[in-house]
Amino acid sequence: MTDKRVLAAAKEIRELQFKDQMTLAQVKKKFYAIMRKHGLRWGIAVPGGAEGATAAWAMLLGFFLGRFADTMRTQLFLQVPNDLRL
């Protein structure tokens, strides 16, 4: 799985910045835009259609969700509103 497209998408995800004002729909659009930009598709081609996510898709989705979770975790721990602080 050393496809240059996968590596480029992973680099872009690693550098991604999530903004406080982003909606969930905007976060999803970011992921799909990265996948489109790098020509990465969800399905594995089979006769008559497609089935299941590719290994690259699953890996990059996990990486993307991890980056999003890290951002949220940091904000929830470090950017606590004053009225909730002791």
Confidence of residue 59 (pLDDT cuts 50, 70, 90): very high
Q: What is the mean pLDDT of residues 67-84?
A: 92
Q: What is the mean pLDDT of residues 41-49?
A: 83
Q: Delimit the domains of the chain by residue range.
A: 4-79
- State yes or no: pLDDT of 1 exceeds 70: no
What pLDDT, on a 0 to 100 scale, did the predictor assign at position 61?
97
What pLDDT, on a 0 to 100 scale, did the predictor assign at position 15?
96
Q: What is the DSSP string of 22-83?
A: --HHHHHHHHHHHHHHTT--SEEEETTEEEEE-HHHHHHHHHHHHHHHHHHHHHHHH---GG
